[in-house]
Structure 1
């Protein structure tokens, strides 16, 4: 709702000494190619003959690579939300791969996905530049989110039974713990989970996906430095989640309406 690692000198690349959690070691390219050949029957296993037997399907290496790409994508999104990737800076896939302990390929694929989401832009022969966003763009995203989520929440307030709202309390409490930690990336993830849980009650998956995309974009850092919202702002934001659930569970529609509108008014 409301809203980096410093680059190595002159490179725009995070200091390897401050790298985050490493992804488990991946197979060498030669092994990947060999496994792929064996899986599709194009390779030859020395000393063994199939004699026309029906090939037994084997997991392709690409499945594992896709899993790694997903992990890298999540890690990059976390780095964006936490301000570890600085707006305006250019990061190369090989350097980021070294940071996460993987090859450049899954990093490049993940960054291409972020480019389609508008988080980064491709810089030919250099890498990917983190998009610079200003306060106006943040305000526009907040306005769009409010136009989508507020009417849905107010409709749900009159149709969803109290027990369903009570079931969301663990998600709200998770945002409070995340806010107390002061970690923007952790709070961003828990905040999205809470809103996703609320909107899921509408039974419209397309709505949930669109709202989450807008929410994620609203959590990227502003140009000119780290996100300005501090721990106190996060704690206040998280407290509104609990207050909203209390009002919804008690059937206090007017209070819930006021809380929902105030909540989104503070996202700009």
Structure 2
């Protein structure tokens, strides 16, 4: 039987490598078609091959990577049709709750959401894309937790784990990423003020922007 502490260490390293690699793929820092190898990634992260291989296999199961026999893993292309479908599902799940949550956001949660909104903007402006993605996910899931529906939170969380963006670096340089990021604080303000319809409209537009970032084809 293996050493439990050693198993936990490997699992922790795998999760760290997976988060780092997925953020690079999602942000476009690693382009579709690029081939990644376990030895190269292990050397870059300064860890053994085992957690890197497991992380890359996890990313392959999520559709981010495709195994190549005796060569490593190829970064997969983004399907625009899948992106549009994911955008529509997110709208169906995340827009309606804005109306019921309006006027019912506790002060403590509102403060936390505003802190996350500020971090999303800072991370985007500073090019810290892993921090940007993690803060963005935490913001949206924290908001949905207010519904008390854990199934909704789990489903949206899984959808976000499967999503891909393209050109995030270029969008950050152009300022478009900051524009989208600023909508988080605006959304909190609308919810605190009890403006449910306006919050729902903003969430729908925001998901459209993000969907456009995923596909490189922003909605107006």
Aligned residue for 1:132, secondary structure, equals coil
What is the distance in 1 between the residues matched to 2:108 and 2:195?
Answer: 15
Residue 88 of structure 2 is matched in structure 1 by: 143
**Local SS of the residue matching 2:184:** helix
Correspondence for 2:200: 257
Tell me the number of residue pairs that the alignment of Structure 1 and Structure 2 aligns: 210
TM-score for the superposition, normalised by structure 1: 0.69
Name 2:215's counterpart in structure 1: none
1:198 maps onto 2:143 in alignment? yes
SS of structure 1 residue aligned to 2:67: strand
Given that 1:87 and 1:221 are in contact with CA atoms closer than 8 Å, whether structure 2 keeps it comes out as no
For 2:194 and 2:37, the matched residues in 1 are separated by 52
Q: Using a 3 Å threshold, how does the CA distance of structure 1 residues 210 and 75 change in structure 2: closer, same or farther?
A: same
TM value normalised by structure 2: 0.83
Counterpart Cα distance in 2 of 1:185 and 1:81? 9
Residue 71 (structure 2) pairs with residue 129 (structure 1):
no
CA contact (8 A) 1:172 1:194 kept: yes
SS at match of 2:157: helix
1:154-193 matched pairs, under 5 angstroms: 154-157=99-102, 159-161=104-106, 164-193=109-138
User: Is there any run of 5+ residues in structure 1 with no aligned partner, and where?
Assistant: 1-34, 40-58
**1:44-55 correspondence to structure 2 within 5 Å:** none
Match of 1:230 in 2: 172
Distance 1:154 1:187 in 2: 26
CA offset at residue 150 of structure 1?
A: 1.2
- What secondary structure, in the 3-state scheme, does the structure 2 residue paired with 1:266 have? helix
Where in structure 2 are there 5+ consecutive unaligned residues? 213-220
Instruction: Give the conservation status (yes or no) of the 8 Å contact 2:127–2:169.
Output: no
Q: Structure 1 or 2: larger helix share?
A: 2
Q: For 1:155 and 1:247, how far apart are their aligned partners in 2?
A: 12
1:197 counterpart SS class:
helix
Structure 1 residues 1-56: Cα deviation after superposition (integer angstroms, max 9, x where no partner): xxxxxxxxxxxxxxxxxxxxxxxxxxxxxxxxxx94xx6xxxxxxxxxxxxxxxxx
Name the counterpart of 1:246.
Answer: 189
Deviation, structure 1 residue 165 = 3.0
Q: Tell me the CA shift for residue 151 of structure 1.
A: 1.8
Distance 1:154 1:264 in 2: 16
